A and B are shown apart, each in its own frame.
Chain A
Amino acid sequence: MLEGLVSPENLSLSSMDMSVLERLKWLRQQQQKQVVSQSSDNSPELLQILQFHESNNDELLQSTFSHFQMLGSGFGPNPNMGFGPSREAMDGCISRTSSLQMDPVDTMGVMLKNSEENRTISSKNKRKSEVKRREEEKTEKKIKVAAETESNMKGKSSMSNNTEASSDTSKETSKGASEIQKLDYIHVRSRRGQATDRHSLAERARREKISKKMKYLQDIVPGCKKVTGQAGMLDEIINYVQSLQTQVEFLSMKLAVLNSELELAVEDLYLHAYFTNLPVVNASKPSIMVDVPLFPLDQQGSLDLSVINLSQTTSIEAPSASWETQSRSLFNTSSLGFHY
């Protein structure tokens, strides 16, 4: 079947006594003929190949390549021809096959597009009847694939039926069903057994957003990585938040107990901060100043030191030594008249 592509004319010509130039000319003519009428020659083979490898497009391409490579290599040990002419015939065949290779790839590409179109069309027009769909596809193909013979069209329509049938099932079963909405939208791939209508897509997008944020939370909350699944993670996060809140409460109780010392310490701390950071008065975040004064904390405006940015992060731990001299500093601060 494959050798049939090597028409007997080639062999007969090679055995004739022709000059090299004439032979080259003949070869060129052959190539041109091939370009014109290659479709009729190729379509049966292509169709057979395509029908054989219906499901996977990549396999189709590879199979066509391998077939045509076989064509080129299969003529090496051709016993009928002499050595010299056989080589030229081989070159002719190979060039022919190479040209064949190029064009079937194009038609393959077109066919691939068409099959994809099939699927998109079939997924888009889910509700239309099958008959209508087939007609549409047929007309589509007539427009798309130009300069083809009638036999080719028939072959293609039969192929389209196959792919359509496969696409119907592929919509439900195969993984590669793609959906193309309008041009401006994101191209989304629907997975196995998932619907492709608008609402479910929106749902899916939302769920993905939420899962992304859950991942981010997972990084923050310690000990969350071991637990898998959203439910477990959420539980962990809730526990963590609750524990933090109870910690705050506990520490505030402690602070309340240490009340008297707190009083001195606070003033002392302010004094310390004031003296150490006075040359480094920076404006803190403007949002702080914008805050609405409420509760007993409405001193923002009156506090001259409100713009102090404590550049030392250890300002909390550092004064702990000075707190032992609280009594002395207390007198100092009161005498200074340190107002907030």
Chain B
Amino acid sequence: MASADKPINTDVPEKDVFTLHFLQSLSNLRRQNTFNSPEKTNDRVKKIKKAAYVSMARAAGGTNRLWSRALLRRAAKENSKVVRFPRRKKRVTCLRRRRSNRRDPVEEEEAERLRNLVPGGGGMETSKLMEETAHYIKCLSMQVKVMQCLVDGLAPK
């Protein structure tokens, strides 16, 4: 019961890392032949969006974060690629604690909405969910800044 609280670590890497990853992903999208056709803009949009999320997940910490791991796994599933992540023993205990710890129905209604938003939120305890949300928000805002800069740079003058 008496557990020392570790300081919440939500350090997010610099803008450069995000931009690097995003640009890499974009350049690889270029490689695809079907990408540059003037029609099918919607597909392109979807692909770009996916690329943005995946690059963000990688830039933010790869498999070290729960949400990024879930994101990457989701993306890989859509491509039907087998993804292997390093197994961690923590996960099992987390799931076991899940049943006993997640009570308090008043909070859970809103936590449910958060869980739907944040990737990988379904398997997390509420306190862990908060940490992940904080980090996710930071990374999202960083990614938005990067994309905004790109768009501004590319805008026809």
Interface residues of A, Cβ cutoff 8 Å to B: 184-186, 198, 201-203, 205-207, 209-210, 212-214, 216-217, 220-221, 230-231, 234-235, 237-238, 240-242, 244-245, 247-249, 251-263, 265-267, 269-270, 284-285, 287-288, 290-292, 294-297, 299, 303, 308-313, 315-317, 319-320, 323-324, 340
A288→B17 contact, CB < 8 A: yes
A297→B54 contact, CB < 8 A: yes
Question: A267–B27 Cα gap in the complex (Å)?
Answer: 8
A213→B16 contact, CB < 8 A: no
Question: A30–B54 Cα gap in the complex (Å)?
Answer: 89
A252→B45 contact, CB < 8 A: yes
A288→B131 contact, CB < 8 A: no
Chain A residues with CB under 8 A of B75: 294-295
A296→B29 contact, CB < 8 A: yes
Chain A residues with CB under 8 A of B55: 297
Name B144's closest neighbour in chain A (CB-CB).
A247
Chain B residues with CB under 8 A of A203: 103-104
Counting contact residues on chain B (CB < 8 A from A), the size range is 35 or more
User: Within the complex, what minimum Cβ distance (angstroms) separates B101 from chain A?
Assistant: 7
Question: A311–B81 Cα gap in the complex (Å)?
Answer: 34
B30, B118, B127, B154: which has the most chain A beta carbons within 10 Å?
A: B154
Known: A270-B27, A316-B19, A316-B149. A259 touches B62 (CB 8 A): no
Name A292's closest neighbour in chain B (CB-CB).
B83
Chain A residues with CB under 8 A of B156: 258, 261
User: Within the complex, what minimum Cβ distance (angstroms) separates B83 from chain A?
Assistant: 6
B58, B104, B146: which has the most chain A beta carbons within 10 Å?
A: B58
In the complex, the number of residue pairs spanning A and B with C-beta atoms less than 8 Å apart equals: 215
Q: Counting CB contacts under 8 A, is B1 at the interface?
A: yes
Interface string of B98-139 (1 = CB under 8 A from A): 000101100100110110011000000011001101101110
Known: A259-B44, A291-B63, A316-B149. A340 touches B24 (CB 8 A): yes
B23→A294 contact, CB < 8 A: no
Give the residues from 12 to 54 in chain B that come closer than 8 angstroms, CB to CB, to chain A.
Answer: 13-17, 19-21, 23-32, 35-36, 41, 44-45, 48-54
User: Within the complex, what minimum Cβ distance (angstroms) separates B86 from chain A?
Assistant: 9
Please pick, from B10, B28, B85, the residue contacting A297 in the complex, using a CB distance under 8 A: B28
Q: Counting CB contacts under 8 A, is B157 at the interface?
A: yes
Which 4 A-B pairs give the minimum distances between C-beta atoms?
A213-B130, A310-B16, A251-B147, A316-B149
Known: A203-B103, A284-B17. A248 touches B127 (CB 8 A): no
Q: Counting CB contacts under 8 A, is B87 at the interface?
A: no
A295→B76 contact, CB < 8 A: yes
Chain B residues with CB under 8 A of A319: 153
Name B139's closest neighbour in chain A (CB-CB).
A244
A238→B114 contact, CB < 8 A: yes
Chain B residues with CB under 8 A of A198: 1
User: Would you list 27 pairs from A and B whose C-beta atoms are within 8 A, ordered by A residue?
Assistant: A209-B127, A213-B8, A214-B130, A216-B130, A231-B110, A237-B133, A237-B137, A238-B110, A248-B143, A248-B144, A251-B147, A254-B151, A256-B44, A263-B30, A266-B26, A284-B17, A291-B62, A292-B83, A295-B25, A297-B28, A313-B14, A313-B16, A316-B150, A317-B149, A317-B152, A317-B153, A340-B27
Chain B residues with CB under 8 A of A340: 24, 27-28
B85→A292 contact, CB < 8 A: yes
Name B20's closest neighbour in chain A (CB-CB).
A310
Name A219's closest neighbour in chain B (CB-CB).
B134
Known: A203-B103, A220-B138. A244 touches B19 (CB 8 A): no
Name A257's closest neighbour in chain B (CB-CB).
B41
Question: A284–B24 Cα gap in the complex (Å)?
Answer: 15
Please pick, from A201, A241, A258, the residue contacting B154 in the complex, using a CB distance under 8 A: A258
Contacts A295-B50, A320-B153 aside, 10 further interface pairs with beta carbons under 8 A come to A214-B130, A234-B113, A237-B137, A241-B140, A251-B52, A258-B154, A285-B17, A291-B63, A297-B55, A317-B149
User: Within the complex, what minimum Cβ distance (angstroms) separates A192 from chain B?
Assistant: 21
Chain B residues with CB under 8 A of A207: 104
Chain B residues with CB under 8 A of A297: 24-25, 28, 51, 54-55
